[in-house]
Structures are given as C-alpha cells and as structure tokens.
Amino acid sequence: MRSTRPSSTARRAGSARRRTSPVLAAVALVSALVLTATACGSGGAETDARASDSAAAEGDDKITIPDDLVDRLKEHGIDLDNWKDGAWKNWDKDDWLREAEDFVNPIIEDLWNPERMREADELDQGVDDSDLSGDQGVTDPTPEPVDAEAVASTYHDNAPTAGKLFFDSPEGTMVCSATVVQDPAHPGKSNMVWTAGHCVHAGKSGGWFRNIAFVPSYNDSRMSAAELANATQEEVAPYGVWWGEWAQTSDQWIAQGGATGGDGASYDFAVIHVTPENGDGKSLEETVGSALPVDFAAPAVQQVQSITATGYPAAAPFDGETMYQCQDKPGRLSINAADPTMYRIGCTMTGGSSGGGWVTTGADGEQALVSNTSIGPATSGWLAGPRLGDVAKGVYDSVSEKFAGQ
C-alpha cells in the first residue's frame, strides 16, 4: 500500500514471493480425496477434499481414489501419483484448476516449516480511482489513517482466534491472515476458519491456490525477525499447522474477482474447514480455546461504533512476523452500484493483512466477526471489507452443514 492520496492505487492485501522450494523431508496424503460439488441457496461455490476410509494411501506412496476423479484431474494436467514428487509446484494457466469440483489440497508433511513460512511475502495487486467509478454516491469521505498497533504477546492470550494463512500461487509462496470462527454444527469444537476469497481463489482469471494451511497464533511470543531465523517449529506454530481439507468462497468472487480494479470485493470472503497436520484428536477451537461467532446481519455503519481489524501485515514498513490491530469507526465504500457497500476504516496495515477478521461488540456485549480485510490503498491509510449478508451466510452454512455428521 503505497499512497494515501485520494487518487492512489489500491490493492489486495495478500502476499507472495518467488522462491525455490525446500526439499521435502516427507510427503504423504493422509487421506484420499473425495471431491463433491453442490449448489447452495446463496450461490456459494463449494469444494470438498475429505478423509475417506474407503480410499487411502497405500504401499509405494500410491494413491487409491475413484477412477473418475483421477481421469477428471488428469484432464486438467494433474497426476496425483506425481504430486509427491513436486507436481504441486507446476502451474499451467491453461489447465489451472478453477471450478469447485477441481479443488485439491492434500497434506504435504513438513512443507510449511519455519523457513518457508518466513519467506512468504507480499504481492501487489491494484486499483485506481478510475476503477471505482461505479460508486452508488454513498461513499463516505476517506478516513484518516489509524496507526496499526502491535498486539502484545502472547498472541494466544490477547487474540487467540487470529493466525496466518499460507498457500502457494503461480507467483510463489503467499500469506494472508485468518480467524477461527464458530461452527453451529459442532458447538465448542469448530474446525472452521474465515478469510478473504482472494486468499483461496484467484477469481475470474485463475483458480484455486494450493497447499492452503492455517497457523493460529503464528509467532505467539512475538519474537523478532532475527530470533525467528533460528526458531523451532513449535515456537513458530505452537498450536500446529492446520491444512484446508475443504474450502468455499462466493460464486461472485469466482466469476468477478480480480487482482486489479476491486472487482468482486463486496463478495471477497471465504470459509475453510481445516484438519491438523499432526493432531491429538482435538478440534481447532478446542486447541486454541476460542472461536468467534459471525454476524450476518450486516449492521449499517451508523450502528457500528468501532471495528477492530487484526492481521499480519508483511509489506513495508512491516515484516509479516508480528500481529497488528487497528481500531476505528467505519464508513461506507461503494465500488460498484450493483454490489453492496463495504465497510471502510482508517488503518496503516499493509499486504499480508488480507483476510484478517474485523470484529465489533454487539448490543449484547459480545464480540462477533462482521467482515474481513479485502482491499486498501497502495500505501496503507485505510482498509475496506465486505458487509456480510445472505451470500456470506450461505457460504458459512454450507461449510458447517457439509461436516455436520462428522
């Protein structure tokens, strides 16, 4: 985010960096992949890669999965037998998996080690004022910048539901922020994470990202970059690495979302169902001790006195290793007259904070997630996030219902 001028460019707050992947110490598919696609009332696109007792990894690292799934993936240039040898790094734009039923995210053990997590960096994606010409005439004045404040350690004590989301894209290793949210089908035992749509899917010009994994309370003790250079896996990820076994974003984001122009930003949200790389039988919510409810009533800005946005900004002057927060009263931002207005707050967080939760306190005195970071100006200064309504609720409910019997 590079300019606070009204005519400055704005961009997605996700992050990435080209790099050479480390040699994998061990590669395994902990389960076969069963892909399903169903329509939901909200128009959300669903993806499923769940464990199946009837199909599992067998000798010589071979994978037994339904033949029709193997054939369908091969049509897209994906041979799962070669996945363990690094095929996940190959990106062919002509065959980039983009449809809901194409989602695939097998666990690759030890892929997300401390070094690889540190090397995830920010990716510039921009819009300028000419791209915001669809304003409904209700956009409020640009808010004054609010300086992001570092969250005190330990993060688990002060923001237990927040963490970093890592994934791979054609541009390299990327990072966003994410939040543990409640699962109505599993009270007290949620495995659901909320983030931005552009942190799981590239939108209209691409497909699903790969190796999606959530690390709650990343760098929990707030070590410096120098200290992190020698940190152990347990110090960097004290509550484990949680892989996305199933992800869903809105149909609107898949059809409209773009790296530039703010297209699809009003529907830029996603829910991920996760499973631990190395678990002890506890859910994510039980492991971190907390999960936020989600408010889909989309309260008007006049009704919201304050929103707190949390994330791990990675673009200068930040380094992506420290959790930050901004608190401000929201205003409205309209990008397209056909789409809902977005919340906008003053905040100096930069790339890497995308997907981070926006939390407010309701009339009942309880905190709830009401949005997530989507876009902001190129040099920080403000952030905007979608108001969560029926489409977002459809995405959320579909994830919960899909795993209700498990």
Question: pLDDT for 52-104, tens place per residue?
Answer: 333 333 333 333 456 676 677 676 666 666 665 666 677 776 667 787 777 78
How would CATH label the architecture of 10-402? Answer: Beta Barrel (2.40)
Going from N- to C-terminal start, the domains of the chain cover: 10-402
More confidently predicted of 183 and 225 = 183
Residue 301 has pLDDT above 60, yes or no: yes
> What share of the chain has pLDDT > 90, as a percent?
58
Check residue 246 and give its pLDDT: 92
SS3 of 201-247: the string is: ECHHHCCECEEEEEEECCCCCCCCHHHHCCCCHHHHCCCCCEEEEEE
How large is the average pLDDT for residues 145-151? 97
Distance CA 182, CA 188 (A): 7
How large is the average pLDDT for residues 289-303? 91
More confidently predicted of 125 and 329 = 329
Check residue 288 and give its pLDDT: 98
Check residue 76 and give its pLDDT: 63
The answer to whether 14 and 354 have CB atoms below 8 angstroms apart is yes
How large is the average pLDDT for residues 212-237? 96
Residue 259 has pLDDT above 70, yes or no: yes
Averaged pLDDT score across all residues of the chain: 80
Question: What contacts 60, CB < 8 A, 6 or more positions away?
Answer: none
Phi/psi zone of residue 137: left (φ > 0), alpha (ψ -120 to 50 degrees), beta? Answer: left
Which tokens in the block code for residue 326? Answer: 């901004």
Check residue 134 and give its pLDDT: 61
Work out the number of other CB atoms within 10 angstroms of the CB of residue 221.
14
Distance CA 380, CA 348 (A): 5
How large is the average pLDDT for residues 7-34? 35
How large is the average pLDDT for residues 36-50? 32
